[in-house]
Structure 1
Amino acid sequence: MLTGKQKRFLRSEAHHLDPIFQVGKGGVNEAMLVQIGEALEKRELVKISILQNNEDGKHEVAKHLAEGTKAELVQLIGHTVVLYKVSVNNKRIDLP
Structure 2
Amino acid sequence: MILSTKQKQYLKGLAHSLKPVVQLGNNGLTEGVMAEIDLALEHHELIKVKIPTDDREQKRLICDAISREAKAVNVQLIGHTLVLYRQSEEKKIRIPKL
User: Normalising by structure 2, what TM-score?
Assistant: 0.88
Residue matched to 1:4: 5
**1:25 Cα offset (Å):** 2.3
Number of matched pairs: 94
Equivalents in 1 of 2:11, 2:31: separation in Å?
A: 26
Q: Which amino acid aligns with 1:51?
A: P
Structure 1's unaligned 5+ residue stretches are none
Equivalents in 2 of 1:61, 1:25: separation in Å?
A: 13
Identity within the alignment, %? 40
Equivalents in 2 of 1:95, 1:12: separation in Å?
A: 11
Decide whether the 8 Å contact of 2:22 with 2:36 is kept in 1.
no
Decide whether the 8 Å contact of 1:24 with 1:53 is kept in 2.
no
Q: Which amino acid aligns with 1:2?
A: L
Q: Which amino acid aligns with 1:15?
A: H
Decide whether the 8 Å contact of 1:24 with 1:52 is kept in 2.
no
Residue matched to 2:62: 61
User: Normalising by structure 1, what TM-score?
Assistant: 0.90
